[in-house]
């Protein structure tokens, strides 16, 4: 499944790029990221916990950054698997700056398998977009933060961050009703 | 088909439920009608460790008129709303919407509060609640607060409810003038969920539209009010052309859902057609 | 942690300790041995498991047994009284409203609810009333006739 | 005397237990100490299995065993394929995945636990390490060759190529005034029987016997295959099919789980049960259709057809199930439709893809053929500007041309296609419909009328044409009390043969319907049989019952004659009584027997079931069937050398298939704005030969039409580009519901089949075959003003909207 979009971040491109390749920043920005350990140059092992409310899934996986051309481009490759299924994806990020605003254009391909693919068809695209939006919103906060300042406290959305995944699910569990 | 294990408690009161939820906000889940949660649990996509069953709190199921408002308990079932003769008189949108949800078995069990708290982007209630400009009352161990419907739906499956909060009541302002309302939905052939659902609530004076609210569901990641449509109609006579022109704004500045059944383009088109038809039905 | 439940099923009071996650349909089938209630999907869409809980037609795959604690449940086995078929059962037989019979118990339970609420339904109303029940054999036409027959008979 | 039951709308005798919830499907069979099995299934469409670690699962509470591919590799034989085509590539299909997984849902490990909840819990504890491989999902690309290979040993993803047909197709197309080409797709469908599959196996170590309860359409064939797979003597294996909650071809198969459950029960010495979940059913029960082809049809200016060629790629999935490769051959056989087409050719390329196997789904190859031919006829009509009805009429063989030989090598048994067409046209008031359509179009309304005239091939079939016997068996027995027991090798599962065979037997034997019991689906009780599929149970199985009864009556007549003191030729049987023609004579005197010479009964005094030998009634002219049955069993006074007992068995081998036919007419209106498709009318006239029970025939047609309607408008199995099944539940796979359907106006013509003495043809698949093209044709016709001549299924509202608003 293709996903693409554009996000505008009110922060300088160099700052944004630096944030984008900083594992501690990534750990805070990737929705539901519970662990991000470096395993090689620009390669990390990750634990992602995604979900909303009761709907949760834990994924073990890898994040790798490739094709790095600061401050304008890199490619991120992610894979993960867990009880509800697996996901993998790769996306190109292109950064341009205009009047102090960094425009990130992303285009990627996400594949989902297992239960989430079999039962969450209608949600996946939306969920992927939601995850991307959460990621960039968090990233903007990071990039705006003073370099020396402590990292911003997790914004409110973090509680919901996991929902990128739950998103997938929604339709899923969901039967025709919408009850609960 | 078989859920993972969990603990189960039946609180004696809403306060007790809120206290239990506050203890384990990440692990506990409120069980209302169960028709969103249990299917998710059967697929093991949801594996809460504790279910707090509030379905036995009978004082959460009611339809009352109070202080110029219609007050609906969160545990009121879709069927209770669908079959209320009083609602058909004073707020026909609610029974009209309820009648389109799932099937009779679902409506017998599913609750308006459960559905709203789950915030499925294809659920029917959010459209109606938005069109009625309702307020939602959330309760928690820290007390109670009121959330406007327009602030309630945050994103796909995501509401403004904080962890630890339980949706307790839905409050619908009762219009002074006779409200004209309609809910129109295209159901998905397999799931019965809305492909597009449009709720309309309007009043007319002297043959012009005095007020109008249009809520759309299943069009985007969350239900929303079609402000562009509303603006194009207030103060105008609701003739065919005016309605059609206004309906063209149904999805202004909205990113559309797409799925196997309907592309984004088609969904946009359906949203416009159903908006026009729903307004026409309400005004007629 | 098991929980004790008391359920009246088809007029008989039952008491069992069950896991909270035990679905009502599995309680009826596996604990009580009432296998007339069937399971046809896992997404609460087919209605094969429909039973009546305190007067409401309910999909017993979407309710935990603990939720039915204290309730009165009627299953397909409890529909015939004193050897006489329920009018809906009779209608299904008269009108050939079933073929493989797998969806039939759920279909009958839903149809009975439909007729309670709307004793003289039109064909259109019958069709809508059965939205929550899938049948893959009959094409539904004989089922619609069966329910109409029962309506007349009642 | 007209028959009392046959031809009547008799209520089904199987219904009381079903409507009371007292029937037993596999999951309703309860045995003490039953173990429950759950499967670990692949989440990848194609991957190497690096490691399957079941150590945690084995330690889990309640878990008794976990078996992986390695555990069973040498111990359970491969899943069989009966398709016997030249140069067919047959992959080794093991019951659990070995080194690789080939489709989402491919079973990897079986977890056995003391209850179903524990088994399910332990599935999550099995850790499978996959090494993902590129997937093959596009059948057309697979047919081209190259790329990833699923079964590397074959060097290609092509499982077979087959060309069939007669006549000079090149000349036929070259000589045609018009040749029309069109790509036509029969999409992949899921059968979705409401009862998923299920197996219960119980091994008796003392007797060394295994009993397998399975939700299957073919108990005996399953027994044979399971015996071979598990390595147990066939006469130590008993297969029981309790109630079967729908099959539609999906249970006309031998599945990995059936063998595995039997084997597991043998390993553990306890009953073992597995009940399929709906998701498993969508993933790992066979799918149907999935043919993507191109037709070329030649015709003259007046609409006379000259030739038809169909080049088709059949997506077989990753492995062959029982009949996988054979299904497209049935398509080839039926490509003549109900028309005279002098030259026909089919070129099939069957390919492997990383999907579940396709196999027989209601109609099995014939709906595909009918759809192709009927679409082609509509294209001819459109091309020539003729009414589609006229094009059809022009190419029908006339009633006196039967048996009609097709260019596909078949002999259609009997038919009057025009009669069915005319009746349907009259019932629908076709002329008026067309006039109304014209008016409606002038008002901008989109109304479409679709007509399909179909013929199908049923009563499968002569054994020569079948992989495992095309006959069917019956035993009819009159018990000493006069009750009639019918054992049929056909294994009905909803079709109602317990009733229709009882109607047949009751009429033939002059007994009350309630005195007949029809037994099926137990290999230890019923003589070998083939099963219920291919609309064969009545035409082949019913005929076996009929002939067995004739045999039985012959014997009964001899006994009756003996009792009546006359010869068999002088005895007439009617209404359950044998009547002697000619003068009165006491039976005893006629037999020359001295009652005093009869040895005393073996039974102790007072326990003789009937007390005494039956006597002819007062005037000495009649004995009842019950009298005869008792005499046959007491065997005190039988004709010399007469075998005691009163039963007869017959295995009926049909000499030909039967060819039911009919006309379906569908009228739709499309919503210009939304593309929504609304049914205005549905009229069908089917001819399935003689009818035993019109009620059951209607039911079959209704159900068939709805499955066709599902294919035309709603249903499609979708795998994404990674081979993930994204229509994995009924949330996304749309099975038609009651409120989506029109009222079906049914009628019949009756052209008896000469192939069997009952004159019956079969009706189980007619609706599915006749309706799909009628519905598609109606929608296409509604869109004709937009230049539309064909649309691919399922026709979704969005497609309509795009055309109207292009």
D302 in contact with chain A, both atoms CB, cutoff 8 A: no
What pLDDT does residue D322 have? 96
What pLDDT does residue D467 have? 83
Q: How many Å apart are CA B148 and CA B152, to the nearest integer?
A: 6
Q: Which stretch of A137-146, D587-596, D669-678, D684-693 has the lowest confidence by average pLDDT?
A: D587-596
ipTM, 2 decimals? 0.93
Q: How many Å apart are CA A154 and CA A147, to the nearest integer?
A: 17
Residues 6+ positions from D650 with CB-CB distance below 8 Å: D473, D474, D475, D544, D545, D547, D548, D551
Inter-chain contact C43–A175, Cβ cutoff 8 Å? Answer: yes
Helices (H), D276-387: 278-284, 327-333, 366-384
Q: How many Å apart are CA D357 and CA D80, to the nearest integer?
A: 13
Of D725, D705, D724, nearest to D716 (Cα)? D725
Of A4, A9, A2, nearest to A97 (Cα)? A9
A89 in contact with chain D, both atoms CB, cutoff 8 A: no
Strands (E), D126-197: 127-132, 158-164, 178-189
Q: Could you tell me if A86 and A113 are in contact, meaning their C-beta atoms sit under 8 angstroms apart?
A: yes
Which among C30, C34, C40 has the least Cβ separation from residue D194? C40
Which among B188, B190, B266 has the least Cβ separation from residue D801? B266
What pLDDT does residue A54 have? 54
A122 in contact with chain D, both atoms CB, cutoff 8 A: yes
Of B171, B160, B152, B143, nearest to B18 (Cα)? B143
Q: At what angle do helices B264-283 and B240-247 cross, to 10 degrees?
A: 150
Q: How many CB pairs under 8 A join A and D?
A: 44
Chains contacting C with at least 3 CB pairs below 8 Å?
A, B, D
Per-residue pLDDT band at D589 (split at 50, 70, 90): very low
Rounded to a whole number, what is the distance in Å from the CA of A175 to chain D's nearest CA? 7
D731 in contact with chain B, both atoms CB, cutoff 8 A: yes
Inter-chain contact B8–C64, Cβ cutoff 8 Å? Answer: yes
Beta bridge partners of residue D686, listed in sequence order: D662, D748
What pLDDT does residue D613 have? 62
* Residue indicated by tokens 């292109």: A94
Please report residues of B whose CB lies closer than 8 A to that of A129: 221, 255
Of C132, C93, C137, C92, nearest to D246 (Cα)? C137
In whole angstroms, how far apart are CA B204 and each of A71, B93, B210?
A: 57, 16, 5
Strand order in the sheet with B208-217: B180-187, B194-205, B208-217, B224-225
Of D117, B37, D198, nearest to C30 (Cα)? D117
Q: Which of D732, D733, D734, D735 to mutate to test the interface with A (most CBs of A within 10 A)?
A: D732
Q: Which stretch of A21-35, C31-45, D426-440 has the lowest confidence by average pLDDT?
A: A21-35
Inter-chain contact C56–B79, Cβ cutoff 8 Å? Answer: yes
Rounded to a whole number, what is the distance in Å from the CA of A57 to chain D's nearest CA? 13
Residue of B nearest to D726 (CA): B260
Residue of C nearest to B5 (CA): C21
SS3 B85: helix
What pLDDT does residue D610 have? 45
Which among B102, B255, B261 has the least Cβ separation from residue A177? B102
Q: How many Å apart are CA B225 and CA B214, to the nearest integer?
A: 6
Cα three-residue angle B20-C16-D30, rounded to 5 degrees: 125
Q: Could you tell me if D744 and C141 are in contact, meaning their C-beta atoms sit under 8 angstroms apart?
A: yes
Over residues D522-539, the mean pLDDT reads 94
pTM: 0.94
59-78 in chain C: CB under 8 A from chain A: 62
Counting beta carbons within 10 angstroms of the beta carbon of residue D146, is it exposed (0 to 12), middle (13 to 18) or buried (19 or more)?
A: exposed
Q: How many Å apart are CA D280 and CA D357, to the nearest integer?
A: 14
What pLDDT does residue A168 have? 40
SS3 D286: coil
Cis previous bond, D461, omega within 30: yes
Please report residues of B whose CB lies closer than 8 A to that of D116: 2
pLDDT in tens, chain B (284 residues): 999 999 999 999 999 999 999 999 888 999 999 999 999 999 998 999 999 999 999 999 999 999 899 999 999 999 999 999 999 999 999 999 999 999 999 999 999 999 999 999 999 999 999 999 999 999 999 999 999 999 999 988 889 999 899 999 999 998 766 789 999 999 999 999 999 999 999 999 999 999 999 999 999 999 999 999 999 999 999 999 999 999 999 999 899 998 999 999 999 999 999 999 999 999 98
Q: Could you tell me if B132 and B93 are in contact, meaning their C-beta atoms sit under 8 angstroms apart?
A: yes
Strands (E), D138-270: 158-164, 178-189, 198-204, 209-214, 237-240
Please report residues of B whose CB lies closer than 8 A to that of A125: 257-259
Count of residues making up chain C? 154
Q: How many Å apart are CA D806 and CA D802, to the nearest integer?
A: 5
pLDDT in tens, D206-253: 999 999 999 999 999 999 999 999 999 999 999 999 999 999 999 999
What pLDDT does residue A155 have? 41
Inter-chain contact C44–A177, Cβ cutoff 8 Å? Answer: yes
Tokens of A44: 């990390």
What pLDDT does residue A174 have? 44
Q: How many Å apart are CA A52 and CA A31, to the nearest integer?
A: 12
Inter-chain contact A175–B35, Cβ cutoff 8 Å? Answer: yes
The DSSP bridge pattern shows strands D677-687 and B194-205 to be: unpaired
Q: How many Å apart are CA B117 and CA B99, to the nearest integer?
A: 19
In whole angstroms, how far apart are CA D117 and each of A4, A53, A111, B158?
A: 42, 24, 31, 31
Q: How many Å apart are CA D468 and CA D90, to the nearest integer?
A: 18
Cβ neighbours of D582 (radius 10 Å): 10
Inter-chain contact C89–D704, Cβ cutoff 8 Å? Answer: no
DSSP letters along D488-515, please? ESS--SSS-HHHHHHHHHHHHHT--GGG
Please report residues of D whose CB lies closer than 8 A to that of A177: none
Q: How many Å apart are CA D77 and CA D483, to the nearest integer?
A: 43
Above 80 in pLDDT, residue D583? no
Tokens of D53: 């670690």
Cis previous bond, A71, omega within 30: yes
Q: Could you tell me if D194 and D246 are in contact, meaning their C-beta atoms sit under 8 angstroms apart?
A: yes
Inter-chain contact A117–D726, Cβ cutoff 8 Å? Answer: yes
Rounded to a whole number, what is the distance in Å from the CA of C47 to chain A's nearest CA? 12
Q: Could you tell me if D449 and D783 are in contact, meaning their C-beta atoms sit under 8 angstroms apart?
A: no
Residue of D nearest to A115 (CA): D43
Q: How many Å apart are CA D420 and CA D750, to the nearest integer?
A: 9
Cβ neighbours of A24 (radius 10 Å): 11
Q: How many Å apart are CA C87 and CA D778, to the nearest integer?
A: 39
D300 in contact with chain A, both atoms CB, cutoff 8 A: no
Beta bridge partners of residue B138, listed in sequence order: B145, B167
Above 60 in pLDDT, residue C85? yes
Q: How many Å apart are CA B98 and CA D482, to the nearest integer?
A: 59
Q: How many Å apart are CA A169 and CA A174, to the nearest integer?
A: 8
Over residues D544-548, the mean pLDDT reads 97
Q: Could you tell me if C42 and C61 are in contact, meaning their C-beta atoms sit under 8 angstroms apart?
A: yes
Rounded to a whole number, what is the distance in Å from the CA of A120 to chain C's nearest CA? 12
* Residue indicated by tokens 């069979």: D29
Please report residues of B whose CB lies closer than 8 A to that of A52: 157-158
Q: How many Å apart are CA B281 and CA D95, to the nearest integer?
A: 58
Per-residue pLDDT band at A43 (split at 50, 70, 90): very high
């Amino acid at each position: 499944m293709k996903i693409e979009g554009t996000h505008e971040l009110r922060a300088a491109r160099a700052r944004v790029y630096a944030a984008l390749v900083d594992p501690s920043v990534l750990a805070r920005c990737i929705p539901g990221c519970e662990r991000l350990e470096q395993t090689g140059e620009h390669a990390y092992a990750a634990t992602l916990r995604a979900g909303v409310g009761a709907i949760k899934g834990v994924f073990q996986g890898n994040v790798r950054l490739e094709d790095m051309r600061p401050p304008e481009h890199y490619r991120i490759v992610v894979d993960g698997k867990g009880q509800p299924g697996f996901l993998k994806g790769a996306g190109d990020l292109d950064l341009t700056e205009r009047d102090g605003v960094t425009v990130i254009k992303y285009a990627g391909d996400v594949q989902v398998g297992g239960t989430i693919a079999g039962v969450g068809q209608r949600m996946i695209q939306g969920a992927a977009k939601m995850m991307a939006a959460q990621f960039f919103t968090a990233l903007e906060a990071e990039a705006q933060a003073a370099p020396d300042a402590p990292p911003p406290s997790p914004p409110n959305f973090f509680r919901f961050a996991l929902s990128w995944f739950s998103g997938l699910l929604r339709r899923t569990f969901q039967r025709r009703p919408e009850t609960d | 088909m078989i859920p993972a294990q969990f603990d189960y408690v039946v609180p004696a009161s809403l306060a007790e439920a809120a206290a239990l939820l506050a203890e384990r906000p990440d692990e506990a889940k409120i069980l209302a009608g169960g028709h969103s949660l249990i299917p998710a649990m059967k697929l093991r996509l949801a594996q809460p460790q504790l279910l707090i069953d509030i379905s036995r709190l009978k004082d959460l199921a009611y339809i009352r008129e109070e202080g110029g408002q219609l007050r609906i308990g969160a545990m009121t079932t879709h069927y209770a709303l669908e079959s209320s003769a009083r609602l058909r008189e004073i707020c026909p949108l609610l029974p009209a919407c309820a009648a389109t949800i799932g099937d009779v078995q679902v409506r017998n069990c599913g609750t308006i509060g459960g559905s709203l708290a789950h915030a499925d982007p294809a659920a029917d209630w959010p459209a109606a609640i938005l069109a009625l400009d309702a307020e939602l009352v959330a309760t928690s161990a820290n007390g109670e607060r009121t959330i406007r419907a327009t602030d309630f739906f945050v994103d796909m499956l995501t509401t403004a409810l904080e962890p630890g909060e339980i949706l307790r009541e839905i409050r619908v302002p009762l219009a002074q003038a006779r409200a004209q309302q309609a809910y129109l939905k295209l159901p998905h052939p397999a799931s019965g969920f809305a492909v597009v659902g449009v709720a309309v609530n309007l009043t007319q004076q002297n043959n012009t539209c005095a007020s109008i609210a249009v809520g759309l569901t299943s069009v985007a990641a969350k239900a929303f009010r079609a402000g562009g449509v509303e603006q194009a109609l207030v103060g105008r006579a609701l003739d065919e052309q005016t309605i059609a022109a206004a309906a063209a704004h149904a999805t202004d500045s909205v990113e559309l859902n797409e799925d196997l059944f309907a592309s984004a383009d088609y969904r946009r088109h359906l949203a416009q057609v159903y908006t026009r038809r729903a307004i026409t039905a309400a005004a007629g | 942690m098991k929980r004790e439940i008391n359920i009246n099923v088809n007029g008989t009071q039952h008491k069992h300790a069950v896991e909270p996650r035990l679905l009502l349909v599995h309680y009826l089938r596996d604990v009580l041995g009432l296998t007339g209630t069937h399971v046809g999907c896992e997404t609460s869409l087919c209605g094969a498991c429909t039973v009546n809980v305190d007067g409401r037609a309910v999909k017993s795959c979407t309710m935990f047994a603990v939720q039915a604690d204290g309730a009165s449940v009627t299953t397909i086995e409890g529909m015939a009284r004193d050897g006489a078929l329920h009018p809906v059962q009779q209608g299904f037989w008269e009108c050939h409203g079933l073929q493989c019979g797998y969806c039939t118990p759920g279909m009958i339970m839903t149809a009975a609810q439909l007729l309670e609420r709307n004793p003289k339904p039109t064909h259109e109303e019958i069709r809508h009333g059965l939205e929550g029940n899938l049948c893959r054999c009959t094409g539904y036409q004989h089922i619609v006739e069966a329910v109409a027959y029962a309506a007349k008979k009642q | 005397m007209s028959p009392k039951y046959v031809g009547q709308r008799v209520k089904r005798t199987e219904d009381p237990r079903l409507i009371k919830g007292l029937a037993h499907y596999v999951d309703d069979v309860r045995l003490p100490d039953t173990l429950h099995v759950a499967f670990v299934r692949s989440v990848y469409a194609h991957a190497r299995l690096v490691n399957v670690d079941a150590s945690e699962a084995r330690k889990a509470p309640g878990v008794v065993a976990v078996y992986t591919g390695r555990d069973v590799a040498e111990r359970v034989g491969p899943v069989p394929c009966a398709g016997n085509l030249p140069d067919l590539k047959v992959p080794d299909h093991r019951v659990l995945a070995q080194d690789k997984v080939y489709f989402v849902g491919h079973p990897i490990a079986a977890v056995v636990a003391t209850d179903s909840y524990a088994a399910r819990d332990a599935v999550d504890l099995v850790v499978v390490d996959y090494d993902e491989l590129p997937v093959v999902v596009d059948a057309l690309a697979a047919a081209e060759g190259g790329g990833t290979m699923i079964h590397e040993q074959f060097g290609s993803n092509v499982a077979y190529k087959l060309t069939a047909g007669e006549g000079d197709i090149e000349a036929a197309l070259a000589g045609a005034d018009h040749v029309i080409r069109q790509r036509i797709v029969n999409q992949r469908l899921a059968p979705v029987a409401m009862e998923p599959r299920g197996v219960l196996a119980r091994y008796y170590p003392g007797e060394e016997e295994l009993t397998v309860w399975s939700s299957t359409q073919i108990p005996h064939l399953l027994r044979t295959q399971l015996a071979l797979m598990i390595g147990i003597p066939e006469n130590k294996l008993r297969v029981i099919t309790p109630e079967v909650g729908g099959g539609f071809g999906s249970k006309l198969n031998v599945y990995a789980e059936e063998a595995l459950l039997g084997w597991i029960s043998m390993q553990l010495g306890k009953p073992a049960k597995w009940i399929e979940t709906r998701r498993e059913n969508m993933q790992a029960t066979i799918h149907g259709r999935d043919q993507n082809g191109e037709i070329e049809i030649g015709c003259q200016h007046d609409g006379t057809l000259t030739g038809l060629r169909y080049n088709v790629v059949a997506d077989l999935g990753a492995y062959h199930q029982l009949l996988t490769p054979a299904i497209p051959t049935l398509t080839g056989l039926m490509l003549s439709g109900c028309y005279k087409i002098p030259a026909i050719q089919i070129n099939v390329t069957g390919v492997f893809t990383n999907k579940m196997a396709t196999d027989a789904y209601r109609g099995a190859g014939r709906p595909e053929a009918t759809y192709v031919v009927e679409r082609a006829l509509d294209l001819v009509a459109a091309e020539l500007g003729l009414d589609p009805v006229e094009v059809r009429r022009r190419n029908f063989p006339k009633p006196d041309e039967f048996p009609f030989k097709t260019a596909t090598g078949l002999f259609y048994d009997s038919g009057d296609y025009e009669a069915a067409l005319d009746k349907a046209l009259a019932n629908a008031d076709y002329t008026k419909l067309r006039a109304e359509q014209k008016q409606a179009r002038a008002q901008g309304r989109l109304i479409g009328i679709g007509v399909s005239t179909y013929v199908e091939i049923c009563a499968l079939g002569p054994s020569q044409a079948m992989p495992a016997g095309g006959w069917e068996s019956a035993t009819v027995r009159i018990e000493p009390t006069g009750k009639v027991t019918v054992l049929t090798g056909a294994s009905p599962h909803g079709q109602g043969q317990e009733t229709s065979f009882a109607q047949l037997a009751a009429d033939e034997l002059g007994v009350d319907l309630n005195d007949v019991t029809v037994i099926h689906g137990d290999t230890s009780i019923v003589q070998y049989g083939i099963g219920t599929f291919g609309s064969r149970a009545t035409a082949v199985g019913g005929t076996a019952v009929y002939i067995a009864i004739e045999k039985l009556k012959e014997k009964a007549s001899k006994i009756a004659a003996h009792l009546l003191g006359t010869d068999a030729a002088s005895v007439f049987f009617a209404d359950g009584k044998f009547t002697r023609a000619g003068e009165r004579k006491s039976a005893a005197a006629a037999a020359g027997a001295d009652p005093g010479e009869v040895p005393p009964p073996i039974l102790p005094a007072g326990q003789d079931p009937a007390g005494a030998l039956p006597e002819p009634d007062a005037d000495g002219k009649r004995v009842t069937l019950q009298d005869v049955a008792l005499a046959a069993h007491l065997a005190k006074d039988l004709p010399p050398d007469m075998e005691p007992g009163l039963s007869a068995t017959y295995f009926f081998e049909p000499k030909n298939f039967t060819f039911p036919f009919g006309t379906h007419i569908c009228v739709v209106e499309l919503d210009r704005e939304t593309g929504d498709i609304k049914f205005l009318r549905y009229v069908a006239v089917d001819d399935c030969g003689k009818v035993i029970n019109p009620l059951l025939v209607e039911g079959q047609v209704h159900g068939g039409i709805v499955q066709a309607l599902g294919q035309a408008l709603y249903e499609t199995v979708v795998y994404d580009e990674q081979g993930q099944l994204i229509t994995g539940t009924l949330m996304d796979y749309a099975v038609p519901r009651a409120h989506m359907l029109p009222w079906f106006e049914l009628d019949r013509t009756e052209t008896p089949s000469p192939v069997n003495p009952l004159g019956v043809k079969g009706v189980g698949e007619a609706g599915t075959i006749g309706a799909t093209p009628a519905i598609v044709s109606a929608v296409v016709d509604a869109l004709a003003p937009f230049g539309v001549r064909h649309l691919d299924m399922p026709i979704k509202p969005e497609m309509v909207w795009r055309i109207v608003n292009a």
